[in-house]
């Protein structure tokens, strides 16, 4: 836990309200019991614990919430949401902050998750189903480690565990769904 | 019993043996699986963290497609991630505004009251372990199995409706019906890192190592799973874990349907078991399961 003076912190009430409203979770119920932080399997990688993240949201500490690596190390394993005594879906709050960071194009080290999400959603938009070879291939090229997991991939291919060609299902219907969603969000 | 079947993307690629063994086992138990026509990806890992609307619309579309298939009212997904997304979509669709928007996106009505089941629920709750036991021709003969549920088969209880989300025991009862012995261990609902395998492999290696180590120290000879992402990490990453942490894991990871298939008398090769990346042939030979 970092202790800071009030003048060092940007407090943004609008951020707090936006997270609460979009997630539909009553984030103000959190009383910092730390049950989420204790159970989080990814805690050791995070700068701030999930409990601290909840406090950032309650106080409207927008920079701390959006730029901490905590949200990008969340595995969406739902342990925190399952255990919260105040019944807050914490993983949903994390998802909401991740969405805000991506929508607003905020500069943050997203641990390649921004890229991962964009690639996967684009594959869906044009193919309708996952095409693992394209996802891993593009991800490895764009992150500058083209040979990552190469031998594993070859092994899987030999065993018939990776499709060589994408299975495309009604691409026009999928594109239509995505464009309708885009229009609705405006 | 007739039920809509949503295999999901993983079962057509990295988890193909799960698809093969599920179909075999269900046929043997008299469960008719009707694959949802033209199903699409449920949005699994990325949709919920980058696009809330699509994360509900994609599973809702699949439910709408399933409702059109033979007028069925139940759908089962073997993949824990697909199961979770379908369940989440149902929960989110109770919001009036969300429902209106999603129906507009999918261009059809959203089917109310669909029952979403994980494959394990279909076997344990709907068929019953007694019925499975009657069909066993080749007992697993005391094979020590650690049953691994991972995250999304049980959590969050508000969505899955599971009572015992910290210590589920359905898979144990199934394994015991097959003649296996189950071990008591700590990591049965611990996260393996799932899709972080592609972006942050180190996280997956660390978490998966904990799971493997706990299973081995509890005396397990094999781990039984019900999720293709868990299987990919536990089975496929053992070599990398051994290299990185200087360990010596060599523990076979089976889908629970594969172990069922073996006990029901199917040949290992017909169940796709040899597609595993951790070698299993000698293991099965030693126990006369091949």
Look at A129 and B9 and tell me if their CB atoms are within 8 Å.
Answer: yes
Q: Which residues from chain A sit within 8 angstroms of residue B208, using beta carbons?
A: none
Is residue B127, in this structure, part of any structural domain at all?
Answer: no
Task: Provide the pLDDT for residue A167.
Answer: 87
Asked if B154 and B280 sit in the same domain, the reply is yes
Is residue B126, in this structure, part of any structural domain at all?
Answer: no
Look at B201 and A148 and tell me if their CB atoms are within 8 Å.
Answer: yes
Asked if B65 and B176 sit in the same domain, the reply is no
Name the domain boundary from B95, B119, B143: B119
Number of domains in chain B: 2
pLDDT for residue A24 is more than 80: yes
The DSSP symbol for A7 reads G
Decide if B146 contacts B221 (C-beta within 8 A): no
The token pair at A146 is 């083209």
Residues A156-173: tens digit of each pLDDT? 999 999 988 998 888 899
What range does the domain containing B62 cover? 2-119
Q: Which are the contacts of A92, defined by CB distance < 8 A and separation ≥ 6?
A: A23, A24, A25, A81
Asked if B177 and B260 sit in the same domain, the reply is yes
Q: What is the CATH number of the domain that holds B107?
A: 1.20.1050.140
Look at A78 and B58 and tell me if their CB atoms are within 8 Å.
Answer: no
Q: Which residues from chain B sit within 8 angstroms of residue A82, using beta carbons?
A: 155-158, 165-166
Name the domain boundary from B64, B85, B119: B119
pLDDT for residue A3 is more than 80: no
| C-alpha distance from A142 to closest chain B C-alpha (Å) | 11
Q: How far is residue B147's CA from residue B120's CA, in Å, rounded to a whole number? A: 12
ipTM comes to: 0.94
Look at B53 and A184 and tell me if their CB atoms are within 8 Å.
Answer: yes
Window 120-179 of A: residues touching B by CB (8 A cutoff) are 120-121, 124, 128-130, 132, 135-136, 139, 143, 148-149, 152, 155-156, 159-163, 167, 169-170, 174, 176-178
- Averages of pLDDT over runs of 10 residues in chain B (290 residues) are 95 96 97 95 95 96 92 94 97 96 96 95 95 96 96 96 96 97 97 93 97 98 97 96 97 98 96 96 91
> What would the 3-class secondary structure string for chain B be?
CEEEECCCHHHHCCCHHHHHHHHHHHHHCCCEEEECCCCCCCCHHHHHHHCHHHHHHHHHHHHHHHHHCCCCCEEEECCHHHHHHHHHHHHHCCCHHHHHHHHHHHCCCCCCCCEEEEHHHHHHHHHCHHHHHHHCCCCCCCCEEEECCCCCCCCCHHHHCCCCCCCCCHHHHHHHHCCCEECCCCCCCCCCCCCHHHHCHHHHHHHHHHHHHHHHHCCCCEEEECCHHHHHHHHHCHHHHHHHHCCCCCCCEEEHHHHHHHHCCCCHHHHCHHHCCCCCHHHHHHCCCC
Domain annotation for chain A: domains and CATH numbers? 7-103 (1.10.1060.10), 113-185 (no CATH)
**For helices B52-68 and A90-103, angle between their N-to-C axes, nearest 10 degrees:** 110
- pLDDT interval class at A7 (50, 70, 90): confident
Asked if B111 and B158 sit in the same domain, the reply is no
Q: In what order do the strands lie in the sheet with B144-147?
A: B181-182, B144-147, B222-225, B253-255
Average pLDDT over residues A148-154: 93
Percent of chain A scored above 90 by pLDDT?
A: 89
| C-alpha distance from B134 to closest chain A C-alpha (Å) | 33
Is residue B124, in this structure, part of any structural domain at all?
Answer: no
Of the candidates A75, A11, A122, the one whose C-alpha atom is nearest the C-alpha of residue B54 is A122
Is residue B125, in this structure, part of any structural domain at all?
Answer: no
Q: What is the CATH number of the domain that holds B255?
A: 3.40.50.11810
Asked if B184 and B250 sit in the same domain, the reply is yes
Is residue B113, in this structure, part of any structural domain at all?
Answer: yes
Q: How far is residue A155's CA from residue A150's CA, in Å, rounded to a whole number? A: 9
Asked if B159 and B112 sit in the same domain, the reply is no
Asked if B23 and B165 sit in the same domain, the reply is no
Asked if B15 and B51 sit in the same domain, the reply is yes
Name the domain boundary from B86, B119, B152: B119
| C-alpha distance from B170 to closest chain A C-alpha (Å) | 19
Is residue B129, in this structure, part of any structural domain at all?
Answer: no
Q: What are phi and psi of A13, to 5 degrees?
A: -65, -35
Task: Provide the pLDDT for residue B79.
Answer: 97
Is residue B68, in this structure, part of any structural domain at all?
Answer: yes
Asked if B228 and B105 sit in the same domain, the reply is no
Look at residue A101 and give its three-state secondary structure. Answer: helix
Task: Provide the pLDDT for residue A171.
Answer: 86
- pLDDT interval class at A9 (50, 70, 90): confident
Asked if B96 and B155 sit in the same domain, the reply is no
Asked if B179 and B268 sit in the same domain, the reply is yes
CA distances to A104, B57, B118, B152, B205 from B195, rounded to whole Å, are 24, 21, 20, 13, 12
Asked if B141 and B277 sit in the same domain, the reply is yes
Is residue B128, in this structure, part of any structural domain at all?
Answer: no
Look at B105 and A184 and tell me if their CB atoms are within 8 Å.
Answer: yes
Percent of chain B scored above 90 by pLDDT?
A: 95
Q: Which are the contacts of A90, defined by CB distance < 8 A and separation ≥ 6?
A: A25, A36, A50, A54, A80, A81, A84
The token pair at B79 is 């993949």
């Amino acid at each position: 836990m970092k202790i800071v003076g009030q003048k060092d912190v940007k407090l943004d009430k609008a951020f707090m309200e936006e997270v609460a409203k979009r997630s539909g979770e009553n984030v103000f119920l959190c009383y910092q019991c730390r049950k989420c932080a204790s159970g989080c399997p990814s805690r050791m990688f995070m700068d701030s614990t999930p409990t601290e993240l909840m406090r950032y949201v309650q106080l409207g500490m927008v920079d701390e919430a959006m730029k901490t690596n905590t949200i990008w190390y969340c595995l969406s394993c739902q342990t925190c949401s399952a255990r919260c005594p105040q019944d807050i879906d914490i993983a949903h709050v994390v998802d909401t902050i991740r969405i805000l960071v991506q929508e607003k194009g905020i500069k943050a080290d997203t641990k390649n998750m921004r890229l991962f999400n964009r690639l996967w959603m684009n594959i869906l938009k044009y193919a309708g189903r996952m095409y693992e070879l394209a996802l891993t291939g593009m991800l490895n090229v764009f992150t500058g480690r083209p040979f990552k997991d190469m031998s594993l991939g070859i092994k899987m291919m030999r065993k018939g565990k990776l499709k060589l060609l994408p299975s495309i299902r009604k691409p026009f219907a999928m594109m239509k769904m995505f464009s309708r969603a885009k229009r609705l969000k405006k | 019993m007739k039920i809509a079947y949503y295999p999901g993307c993983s079962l057509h690629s990295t988890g193909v043996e799960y698809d093969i063994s599920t179909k075999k086992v269900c046929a043997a138990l008299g469960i008719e699986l009707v694959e949802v026509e033209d199903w699409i990806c449920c949005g699994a890992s990325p949709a919920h963290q980058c696009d809330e609307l699509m994360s509900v619309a994609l599973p809702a579309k699949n439910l709408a497609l399933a409702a059109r298939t033979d007028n069925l009212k139940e759908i089962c997904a073997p993949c824990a991630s697909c199961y979770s997304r379908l369940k989440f979509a149902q929960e989110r669709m109770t919001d009036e505004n969300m429902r209106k928007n999603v129906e507009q996106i999918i261009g059809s009505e959203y089917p109310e009251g669909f029952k979403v089941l994980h494959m394990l629920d279909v076997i344990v709750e709907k068929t019953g372990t007694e019925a499975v036991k009657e069909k066993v021709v080749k007992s697993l003969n005391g094979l020590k199995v650690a049953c691994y549920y991972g995250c999304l088969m049980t959590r969050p209880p508000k969505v899955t409706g599971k009572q015992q989300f910290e210590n589920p025991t359905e898979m144990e009862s199934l394994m015991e019906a097959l003649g296996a012995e189950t071990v008591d261990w700590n990591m049965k609902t611990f996260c393996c890192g799932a899709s972080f395998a592609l972006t942050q492999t180190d996280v997956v290696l660390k978490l998966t190592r904990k799971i493997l180590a706990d299973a081995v120290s509890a005396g397990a000879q094999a781990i039984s799973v019900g999720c293709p992402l868990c299987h990919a990490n536990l089975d496929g990453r053992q070599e990398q874990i051994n290299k990185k942490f200087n360990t010596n894991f060599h523990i076979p990871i089976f889908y629970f349907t594969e172990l069922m298939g073996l006990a029901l008398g199917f040949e290992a090769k017909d169940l796709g078991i040899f597609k595993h990346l951790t070698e299993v042939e000698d293991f099965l030979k030693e126990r006369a399961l091949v």
